[in-house]
Structure 1
């Protein structure tokens, strides 16, 4: 315990202060301040410093001094005496008092947004972007003419929009935090459109009490005060003026001083200028990133985008890095340009795609190389160095199909796509089926004599045992064509060919009827084909039409009788997408053989109808005239029509479609269909869409079948029916 002198110190200090005449009340201190008293050091004498206790006793009133002298001495070793006046209960003697929970205050609600104000006053027009988000624009559309595009763009990026799309139980704090992010986003978007002095007014609140019957959720509204739209000031395009085509290139960059400022326009016009440089002979052109300097005093932005054309050039040679694989001469054949043509970037890219389309390479790199620099009046020359990575050249392929009327069909092939470089492919194939067996070899040279032109030479031997005829055939077929591929679908396709066929055929035999003698035919033909295609897809079209014609002048010799005739067929199909999930497709076909009697035409070269690619619901080649035994004999004319709806479903991520269809067709022995036996079939199909085309399964039934027709027919194949 402290000594007695220390215990009495506060009393003595108080007495000393009283002796000095210093009041302790606040008002006294204030009065002392007004009179500017001397400092405390001046009022305390040296004796008080040398003997403060004695000095304090002398300055204390007698009553106070007596009380102090009579105070009992405290023994430092004695324990503290409990003060009976202070009692505190320990926790085991009394419960700890706990605060009562605050009662709910029915008067506390979310900040209210005046509904009329939220809908937009006379100066603002509100665009609602959802239950929790709205934008307010000036009612004068000229003040902010791009409001629709701006609102769509903001909605796609808004974090408040994400919140409401996530369907979370958001509160006002979450909404306010995201509203601040959206406010920054709006400021950036306004600058993209050239509004650098714009203001965004953010309002966050709840129009109705949350949890109540009238709760509409928290809402955010941004009022846009666009201010003045800045314009383009000075435009610096570097060395563009030095290009020979400077005027045309400057026109391609469609931004001029005074145009409304827009960051989007800069990006778009930079792309247009780059494309113009690449398409008008500037393979080495360079464009630096644009820089925009904003001057708020002038309300303009000065654009600097250094351009270096680096000279104008024409195409030189195409140099192959693997001349024994694909020669330079062959690559120049593939290219759609000649030496001396002005350089175009699109033609360089087209050459790269064409090399990839050969199927012989896995990757292609084309490097531009200056051969001769540009002159004052003439362009320079640039060569294209082509480096290729070879792909696997050998392919083993197979396919299997089934038709309830045709039976099974298994196909297999082996192919080397560059057996005779360049692009000379050899293919060996075979077919094993219920009605057909075949073995053949094919030579095919792509890009022969020009881009996308193909030479085919095919030799094969086959046997066919169908309900219409039994044939043993050896054939040699050659054709030169320009046809569509999966990479290059062409609006016009054509082919011209030659056929030499030797076939021994006889009508099919039903039941236990005796077989007829086999008759030998020697046939020579020059088949011609032409097609116009405006569809949007080769295997699964949704829009457009196709019109095709086939003409084949033929000569046939059998049993000493020589006949000349013309086989012709015309096809037309039309496709129309009527909704996002429905495509309606229709097809018509007409065929005829003119010039000789049907007996002089080999059964395999007559016209037939029925099957998966013809009239579904009937067997292959089963529609048309029949002999006394009920076997189809074929005819000299046919007519077919088909209509189907291709309906996408949501099953398997939208890959599955259902296809109701109806087909009809007739075959006649005359040169023009008589429609006396017009067969109709209908059914339902499914399509499973893959990356290489739809897999098709159709089930059809004949609506007016003949006595020998089955009640149902099933077809499985790749691709649409037409």
Structure 2
């Protein structure tokens, strides 16, 4: 196909869509490849990526040795070259990615007809790619064995004794900009600048389509479900390199919600499903409300798929029905997990539960864990024997919808027997409260907690019977909860507490903030940071139960140091009880500060190398003792899976004391923070 320049001739290509639907096409020889009716629609064509073998740590598993010719009738091979004239490397890279001939060069096609068909399809794809780059008078010529495919008969045959040569020649033409723009809604003009379609701006088809979609979405967000395009007129003028654009829209009226219809439930109450959408009859239609309704149903954790959409037409009373389609998942579940540290030993955990006890997404979950298996003493300079095994069990009941669709009642019972370096503790606790989602990123959690605990430390044995009201606020804008690449996570916790049998009241408060920034477009370099600050108000340190004091050190705190080893210690001498095993053990503090910085560097699609620096301190007063600031550093590895990163970290203490090992190893599932 060739293009001839005609002096003084103004080339205009017009595309019109109307009601009733019709296409009108006027073109010169210079623009024969501009496709009527699909100047923008063809830009939506995608390319299929070939399947590949599973690749783990660079090893290909389950790779097939299947002959690529197998199953292909009359297989023939071809070789393809794609050139852009004049040369433009960036554009050539873009076109090669769009070309199915280039992508499938290693795969045989079915006969000469198959090759010719693929070439004609590729021509359309490449024209669409030019439109996506605002080039509306480009020419794409494809030659097979030196012959233009436009001149080849459908039954043409090629010499298949060697790969058939295919040439793709692209003359990209000019880069177009937006010319005249006219947008109306029910005849009322709409300012094009509102949708970034001002004259002189880039005329890429994908960009114009995106702004058109934004206009329609804005009208739908006003409560108009039946927005329709009544006319679209796009004119590409080669003489001026301008794209004139006219759009007429019928917005329709605002429509209130009507009845909610639920399909797909078997064991879940459909009336409960309708209630949990949060959609109120009579309220004006909103796409955002439909999305939020779907999110609410997904959070119930009883459905494998959820679809919430408006009806196709209004009911007789003028309302808009809502259709909810769900598929139930298996309600019974179980799982296991594990952790490891070279000093804290190994840990195993398991859980079992049901997601739909009484038909309204009520859940019951039993968790149990055993940890510190094979734990060792801190060092030869520490007398404390920390080899006792820790046990923990909890039973949690949740009932959604108790105070509206965004609320969940939570009740729990928990029993703990633990033996960290600082103390021995046995406890049983019960909680009752409500979680409430304020919006997509904010939530609050308020509960009443009663706990009985028996604690033994350097000062002796002490029993506590504590009533508290933990209140937590969370702001979570992370893009991925298991492996965030951007966003922010902030938590505020305040827990007023009272020892019922004559103790003093106190308030434990803590704030945590984490942020995540992707430095590269492909999320291969993530900078992650975290800070935490906490204080205990209203009581002296020794009047606060040991487990409610602050400690630092360990895998979730300052790596390189063992858990609880940053902060004040009891003296290295016999205490009031005469139990020397508690000599020189952590005492805990009333205040805490921690900071962490990680660089999560992706070396492959699934493997990250993570250098890190941690810092922390614990003090006796409301403000931590920054004079005893401890630094840790190290490096870790992550293997990214669908259920979260598998993590291994090696941490080193920058300011080791006689209590510290030369390094610490931590392993588990999930990022460090």
Q: Which has the larger radius of gyration?
A: 1
TM-score w.r.t. the length of structure 2 is 0.65
Partner SS for 1:592 = strand
Q: Which stretch shifts more, 347-356 or 636-645? A: 347-356
The equivalent residue for 1:549 is: 492
Q: Give the C-alpha shift of residue 709 in structure 1.
A: 2.5
Given that 1:482 and 1:495 are in contact with CA atoms closer than 8 Å, whether structure 2 keeps it comes out as yes
1:684 aligns with 2:641: no
Report the equivalent of 1:502: 452
Q: State how far apart, in whole Å, the 2-side matches of 1:227 and 1:626 are.
A: 72
Corresponding position of 1:705: 656
CA distance in 1, matches of 2:176, 2:638: 57
User: Are 2:461 and 1:518 aligned?
Assistant: yes
Indicate the residue corresponding to 1:615 in structure 2.
558
Do 2:139 and 2:170's aligned partners in 1 also have CA atoms closer than 8 Å? no
User: Residue 530 of structure 1: which of 467, 473, 486 is its match?
Assistant: 473
Match of 2:394 in 1: 440
Equivalence for 2:433: 479
Aligned counterpart in structure 2 of residue 667 of structure 1, from 611, 618, 624: 618
Tell me the residue number matched to 1:464: 418
1:571 matches 2:522: no
Q: 2:265–2:328: 8 Å Cα contact kept in structure 1?
A: no
Q: Secondary structure, in 3 states, of the residue corresponding to 2:298?
A: helix
Map 1:174-573 to 2 at 5 A. 247=188, 267-268=209-210, 271-272=213-214, 275=217, 278-283=220-225, 313-321=255-263, 325-327=267-269, 330-364=272-306, 366=308, 368=311, 372-373=315-316, 380-434=318-372, 435-482=389-436, 490-507=440-457, 517-557=460-500, 561-573=502-514
Cα distance between partner residues in 2 of 1:193 and 1:543: 29
More moved, 261-270 vs 594-603 = 261-270
Q: Is residue 132–residue 160 contact of structure 1 (8 Å, CA) maintained in 2?
A: no
Q: Deviations over 1:277-321 (max 9, x none)?
A: 64444546677997989999xx99999999888875310132334
Find the aligned partners of 1:418 and 1:233 in 2 and give their Cα distance. 55
Q: In the TM superposition, what whole-angstrom CA distance separates every residue of 1:682-710 from its partner, at most 9, and x where no partner exists?
A: 22111111223211111112232332332
Root mean square deviation of aligned Cα: 5.1
Give per-residue Cα distances to partners, 1:600-632, cap 9 Å, x unaligned: 211121111111101111222222222231211
8 Å contact kept, 1:249–1:273: no
Task: Name the SS of the counterpart of 2:626 in structure 1.
Answer: coil
Q: Structure 1 residue 436: deviation in Å?
A: 2.0
SS at match of 2:356: strand
DSSP-derived class of the 2:658 partner: coil
**Structure-2 change in CA distance of 1:476 and 1:269 (3 Å):** closer
Q: CA deviation at 1:231?
A: 9.0
Structure 2: how far apart are the matches of 1:263 and 1:421? Answer: 49
Instruction: Provide the C-alpha distance between the structure 1 equivalents of 2:516 and 2:131, rounded to a whole number of angstroms.
Output: 46
Aligned counterparts of 1:180 and 1:365: Cα–Cα separation in 2: 38
Return the alpha-carbon distance in structure 2 between the equivalents of residues 315 and 479 of structure 1.
33
Once residues 213 and 222 of structure 2 are traced to their aligned partners in structure 1, the CA distance between those partners, rounded to angstroms, is 14
Unaligned runs of 5+ in 2: 1-80, 107-117, 144-165, 373-388, 573-582
Q: Show structure 1 runs of 5+ residues with no match.
A: 1-130, 138-146, 167-177, 204-217, 375-379, 509-515
Contact 2:176 2:243 in 1 (8 A): no
Distance 1:256 1:674, change over 3 A: closer
* Higher RCO (CA < 8 A, seq sep 6+): 2
Residues in 2 aligned to 1:184 and 1:363: alpha-carbon distance in whole angstroms: 36
Judging changes above 3 Å, is the alpha-carbon distance between structure 1 residues 567 and 369 closer, same or farther for their aligned structure 2 residues? same
Deviation by residue 1:391-427 (Cα, 9 ceiling, x = unmatched): 1111112211122232222211111111133121111
Alignment TM-score, normalising by the size of structure 1: 0.61
Equivalent residue number for residue 644 of structure 1:
598
On the 8 A contact 2:178/2:198 being kept in 1, the answer is: no
Deviations along 1:644-700, whole A, 9 cap, x unmatched? 2222113xxx21111122222222233322234333322211111122321111111
- For residues 598 and 203 of structure 2, what CA distance do their matches in structure 1 show? 52
